[in-house]
């Protein structure tokens, strides 16, 4: 291959790649929109509940977005008791992406963190109000099939209060079992004394 042909091919490749990159750079980019969809109870035991919290992110751009992340925290009565960080996402162009936030709530942990408030809060309630705060953010790499480049950053916060069921019957059985065990130990201790 001659030097001139090589330079022509190099120049042609450079122009084509520059056009693609220019297209990415000149596209008017909008921040994605994020909203709460729902939550699903996956598993409920006397000790914990596993919940999937679902958000929906809509990328209105003709170009996909990478380097997007989600952080989330759970609160009850203003006290944080759970968090998840840096869940990585890629948002496809002109599409909606479902974001699943897996949460495992330990009842013992909630009650411990709330202290005496939990008695007033729980009372005869069948569920606990839990606030979810999700932060979707990024400094996305805007991309098409051939090129990408970092062009902008965005932040979006979403809050929602969901109701988490309290497994009263299961907890009551556990409490009754512990109470019976304690009574039995007390009787044995009294027998040993006399």
Let me know if residue 25 belongs to a domain. Answer: no
Let me know if residue 155 belongs to a domain. Answer: yes
Read off the pLDDT of each residue in 148-173 and give the average, rounded to a whole number. 77
Q: Is pLDDT at 115 greater than 70 in this prediction?
A: no
Let me know if residue 85 belongs to a domain. Answer: yes
**What would the two tokens of residue 51 be?**
């919940």
What is the DSSP code string of the chain?
A: --HHHHHHHHHHHHHHHHHHHHHHHHS---PPEEEEEEEEEEEE-SSEEEEEEEEEEEE-SSSEEEEEEEEEEEEETTEEEEEEEEEEEEEPTTEEEEEEEEEEEEHHHHHHHHTTHHHHHHTT-SEEEEEEEEEEEEEEEEE-SS-EEE---EEEEEEEEEEEE--HHHHHHHHHHHHHHHHHHHHHHHHHH-
Let me know if residue 101 belongs to a domain. Answer: yes
Read off the pLDDT of each residue in 28-55 and give the average, rounded to a whole number. 90
Read off the pLDDT of each residue in 141-156 and give the average, rounded to a whole number. 69
Read off the pLDDT of each residue in 106-116 and give the average, rounded to a whole number. 70
Instruction: Note the pLDDT of residue 48.
Output: 86
CATH code assigned at 182: 2.60.40.10
Could you list the residue range(s) of the whole structural domain that residue 174 is in?
A: 30-193
Let me know if residue 11 belongs to a domain. Answer: no
Let me know if residue 181 belongs to a domain. Answer: yes
Q: Is pLDDT at 140 greater than 90 in this prediction?
A: no
Please count the structural domains in the chain: 1
């Amino acid at each position: 291959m001659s030097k001139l042909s090589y330079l022509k091919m190099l120049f042609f490749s450079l122009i084509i790649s520059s056009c693609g990159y220019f297209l990415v750079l000149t596209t008017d980019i909008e921040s994605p929109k994020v909203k709460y969809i729902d939550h699903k109870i996956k598993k409920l035991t006397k000790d914990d509940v596993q919940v999937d919290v679902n958000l929906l992110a809509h990328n209105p751009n003709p170009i996909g977005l990478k380097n997007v992340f989600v952080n989330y925290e759970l609160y009850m009565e203003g006290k944080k008791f759970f968090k998840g960080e840096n869940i990585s996402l890629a948002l496809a162009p002109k599409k909606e992406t479902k974001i699943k936030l897996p949460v495992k709530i330990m009842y013992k942990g909630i009650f411990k963190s709330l202290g005496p408030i939990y008695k007033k809060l729980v009372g005869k309630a069948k569920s606990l109000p839990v606030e979810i705060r999700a932060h979707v953010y990024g400094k996305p790499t805007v991309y098409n099939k051939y090129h990408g480049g970092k062009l902008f950053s965005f932040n979006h916060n979403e809050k929602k209060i969901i109701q988490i069921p309290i497994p009263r019957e299961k907890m009551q059985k556990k409490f009754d079992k512990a109470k019976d065990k304690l009574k039995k130990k007390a009787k044995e201790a009294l027998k040993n004394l006399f």
